[in-house]
Structure 1
Amino acid sequence: MFAIAITLLVIEIEVPEGGTNLLGQLLDLWPNYVGYVLSFALIGQVWLNHHAMFQRLKSLDHWTMICNLALLLNVAFLPFPTAVLAQALRTGEGTTVAAVFYGLVMVIGGIFFNAVWWSARRGGHLKEDTTPVEIGAITRRFALGPLLYGVATALGLINAWLSIATYIILIGFFMMENRPHRTRERPRSRQSRGKIS
């Protein structure tokens, strides 16, 4: 599904008519390139975190699959707000609405992503070796998504480019792996091992 959504992003880029001004026509498509890179990175970030999450699951139930289906619905919809944003940037009209609309899609996607995690967690589908420290760190990290994307969306009301720049920063942040280190028990000293409590 992620690969299909990325492919649809490319389809949204119009092929120039050609002629003597082909270079100019290609340069005029810069809003489409911006939208493509932005959404490609977003889908890639969702895929990376989705993969990391499912590596920690030992099983799935019906409700978790429904939440996952809702997430895929959001990802598959992404080419549309991408095209809307690119069109607004090209014409210079409706950029605020387009940036906020794009951000709202990201916020909803973040909510669906959290729903998958919470469903799997509450249903007892995590692998036994997933520690409470890991669960807490992952839960907090995922919960930040909708909140931070909500802030970036609100910035779109001030300036569309400010919002887009914040989207890029947040995508980069959530792309980075943030797996908490598992604490290892320190080996007891020879003296302590010889004592009988």
Structure 2
Amino acid sequence: MPKVVDHDARRLELVKVTWRVIARAGIDGATMREIADHAGFANGALKPYFASKGELLAASFQHVFNLTNERTERSTAGLSGLAALRTFCHEVLPLDEDRILEARIVIPFWQTALTDPDKEQQYAQDMEEWRDQLLGYLAQARRAGEVTTTVPDVQITRHLLSMTMGAQIMAALYQAEYSPDQQIAALDAYLDMLQG
């Protein structure tokens, strides 16, 4: 009887192997051959799951985005307004080794999205989802009197997305100056300014 393969589970396994290879060898060292070796596959055996390294990177990015969404959903459950906004940002910021590794996956994806319309669209859709969540938390915070600045919510959201995305680059490249405590202090300083 032929072995039944769970293709979704196998794809997820390959994404996780890709993370480990990137953490050890960097994005350039994460060749299809290297990933196949670490997964225990023959080189060509990845093709049924991912036709190219670009496709595998896109799946890895989407997995990072999904993991972040799962974290934010869990951690913001029962929260609203400014507390939910702060907690959401904490889950996006690279505050531990796992999230720094996630940043190392996301950064090369951004590079490929500059010249790949499909990846650019994927990124834009993901950011729209986050923007809508942030706008919802800001609306709650305004109703509760927690945010009183006259700066429009759409501008605040743009700033928060820029801050959290920029923190991923800084933490991956310059951890000494962008420690978790420093990231949280910078976020809190900004959120404090929303009350005036």
Higher relative contact order (CA 8 A, sep 6+): 1
**Which structure: larger Rg?**
1
TM-score (norm 2): 0.34
